Amino acid sequence: MRTVRLLIGFDGTRYEGWQSQRKDRTIQEIFEKILLRLFKERTDLVSSSRTDSGVHALGLVAHFKTASRLSDRKIKDALNFYLPRDILVRAAKTVDNRFHARFSAKSKLYRYDIWRSATRPLREGPYALWHPGPLDLPLMRKASRHLLGTHDFSAFQDGGDQGRGAVRTIRSIRIAAKGPLVRIEVKGNGFLRHMVRIIVGTLIEVGRRKLPPEALPGIIASKKRPSAGPTAKSHGLTLVKVQY
């Protein structure tokens, strides 16, 4: 048996996230049906991230094990032949059998795009949260600094992450603007359910001057979800890169 690592990108608009739900609307189900067609046996695909419904990816990593002698190039080409146009395998590579897409990951980089304009976006609409009002970016940057480092992020998760605890390390948060586009990039060693979206929702409240930056340490210390801001909509979020 060999382990094959896939680098995957997708537009998540039409899908109910990554994880199989037996509804034929998840990325995992689509891949596993194609792998069954290629290898004539059930092949489990393990992902680096369980993306939510509507979330996009540029660099999601997944792996599977197979006894097939099909070359990496032919696996990539065959998958792309059968995949819908909004899902793409960027690379396929046989790796050490000890590799695990989720547990071998050292960090993940997410970005969240906000379209700051009085008029809703057209082409950018499926990939950015429309925010018609002003946002104070210096205040948002000031607030984001309180999130850096290792903390219990219980206040920034929807539901429990049973068995793993809520301690995570945020290594960087970058907030930049170009015209109407505001891009927030968050890099960490791992993330809880909806964690990045709640961080963004909280920073937007700061940007709207509804929440002072100095409130962030108290929110973290509370470990209570109601203390933080709302969960930003999923379509603005993209998994950019997983580092190993």
Q: Which of 24, 44, 52, 96 is catalytic?
A: 52
Strands 56-66 and 237-243: parallel
Element (H, E) at 206: helix 195-207
Closest CA to 10 of 115, 85, 79: 85
Cα distance between residue 16 and residue 233, in whole Å:
14
26, 163, 237 from 102: Cα distances, Å? 18, 15, 19
Phi/psi zone of residue 239: left (φ > 0), alpha (ψ -120 to 50 degrees), beta?
beta
Strands 107-116 and 181-188: antiparallel
> Residue 119 carries which side chain, given as an amino acid letter?
T
52 an active-site residue?
yes
- Cβ-Cβ contacts under 8 Å for 85 (sequence gap 6 or more): none
DSSP one-letter code for 114: E
> Residue 237 carries which side chain, given as an amino acid letter?
L
Q: What angle do CA 58, 88, 33 make, to 5 degrees?
A: 125
Local structure of 193: helix, strand or coil: coil
Catalytic center residues: 52
